[in-house]
Chains A and B, each alone.
Chain A
Amino acid sequence: MQKGDNNTNMNRKEKKSGPRLWLELFLTFFKIGLFTFGGGYAMIPLIQRETVVRKKWVSEDDIVEIIAIAESTPGPISVNASTFIGTRTAGFFGALFATLGLVLPSFGIIFGLTFVLDAFGELQPVRYAFIGVRAGVLALVLKAFVSMLKKCPRKAVSYGIALGAFILVAFAKINAVFVLLGSALLGLAHYLIERKILDKKEDE
Chain B
Amino acid sequence: MIYLELFLTFFKIGLFTFGGGYAMLPLVTEEVLSHGWLSGELLVDFVAIAESTPGPFAINLATFVGTEVGGIFGAICSTIGAVLPSFIIILIVAKVYGAFQKSKAVRGVMSGLKPASVGLIASAVLTIGQSALFATGITVATFQTPALYISLGIFAVTAVMVFKKVHPIIVIVISALLGIAFGYIFAL
Contact = CB atoms under 8 A, between A and B. Distances in A.
Contacts of B182: 128, 131-132
B83 A99 contact: yes
A69 B97 contact: yes
Given A128-B184, A134-B128, A2 B95 contact: yes
Interface in B133-188: 133, 135, 147, 150-152, 154-155, 158-159, 161-163, 168-169, 171-172, 174-180, 182-184, 188
Contact of A39 (B19, B21, B89, B93): B21
A47 B155 CA distance: 33
B54 A140 contact: no
Interface in A123-171: 124-125, 127-145, 148-149, 151-153, 157-170
B133 to A, nearest CB: 8
B60 A106 contact: yes
Interface string B59-96: 11001100110001001000100110111011101110
B165 to A, nearest CB: 9
A65 B184 CA distance: 52
B22 interface: yes
A53 B150 CA distance: 47
Contacts of B68: 114
The size class of the interface chain A forms with chain B is 35 or more
A10 interface: no
Contacts of A151: 114
B108 A107 contact: no
Contacts of A136: 48, 154-155, 158, 171-172, 174-176
A145 B126 CA distance: 11
17 contacts: A33-B55, A33-B56, A68-B101, A80-B86, A103-B55, A107-B59, A111-B67, A114-B63, A135-B155, A158-B114, A161-B115, A162-B118, A164-B119, A169-B26, A170-B127, A176-B26, A180-B16
Interface of B: 12, 14-23, 25-27, 30, 41, 44-45, 47-60, 63-64, 67-68, 72, 75, 79, 82-83, 85-87, 89-91, 93-95, 97-98, 100-101, 104-129, 131-133, 135, 147, 150-152, 154-155, 158-159, 161-163, 168-169, 171-172, 174-180, 182-184, 188
Interface of A: 2, 4, 33-41, 43, 65, 68-70, 72-80, 83-84, 87-88, 92, 95, 99, 102-103, 105-107, 109-111, 113-114, 117, 121, 124-125, 127-145, 148-149, 151-153, 157-170, 175-177, 179-180, 183-192, 195
Given A76-B21, A195-B104, 6 more contacts: A105-B55, A106-B63, A109-B54, A143-B159, A179-B119, A180-B113
